[in-house]
Amino acid sequence: MFLVMELCEDGELKEILHRKGCFTENETRHIIQSLASAIAYLHKKDIVHRDLKLENILVKSSETDEENEMKLNIKVTDFGLAVQKAGGSESMFQSTCGTPTYMAPEVISAHDYSQQCDIWSIGVIMYMLLCGDPPFIASSEEKLFELIKKGELHFINPIWQTVSEAAKHVLQLLLRVDPAHRITANELLDNLWITVKLMHLALQFPTRKSQPPVPRNYTVTSYPA
């Protein structure tokens, strides 16, 4: 048997982030729009990915626009922990699985959870694209989980002064502790931060160029299902 797979020449999104340090807001918007579109399609088919992270987003190709900003063609991969819900959208899961940095509070707590755990992971990814680091960092996994369950989102790093309030608001919508109050993938696609023309948004909110990479002191591991 032969498996023919699509070639993603530019590797993992994580690798590109490490090289760049962080993405501009416009670059991040393009990535998040593509990611939300893919997840909205999965959720429509009652599929929950459960392990969205930078390493599981591959870049098929990239190009640079006239403003020297990257436009990435991304692909969501690694469906090893993905499940298709039985019985429609109300079906819930209880098994703890995924990668700690990206895990939603309800998954950590082993409460009933559903597709909204993917939305939390999108929020973590968006936060990391904009500043280069996860929203929650701790010296141990136990402390990390406590921070995630509290869900207190901070924008202390000076780099956030150059990110629009619209983008920060989207992050707050994605990283709500209560999954019932989190926006859905379709609602994210309809959000003004995504839909408004980039030219118009630039007149209202400042944007910035990428910053150099900074050292990171966290590790990422995966949990089996």
Residues serving a catalytic function are 51
Paired with 58 in beta bridges are 12, 75
The amino acid present at 198, given as its one-letter code, is L
Give the separation between CA 114 and CA 62, rounded to whole angstroms: 33
Q: HSE-up of 188 (CA within 13 Å, CB side)?
A: 32
Residues written for the chain: 225
- Is residue 149 within 8 A of residue 95, CB to CB? The reply is no
Hey, what amino acid is at 18? H
| Six token digits for residue 165 | 């309030």
The two tokens of residue 206 are 């400042």
Q: Determine the Cα–Cα distance for residues 107 and 104; give it in Å rounded to an integer.
A: 5
Euclidean distance between CA atoms 142 and 130, whole angstroms:
26
DSSP 115: T
Name the packing angle between helices 165-174 and 116-131 (round to 10°): 150
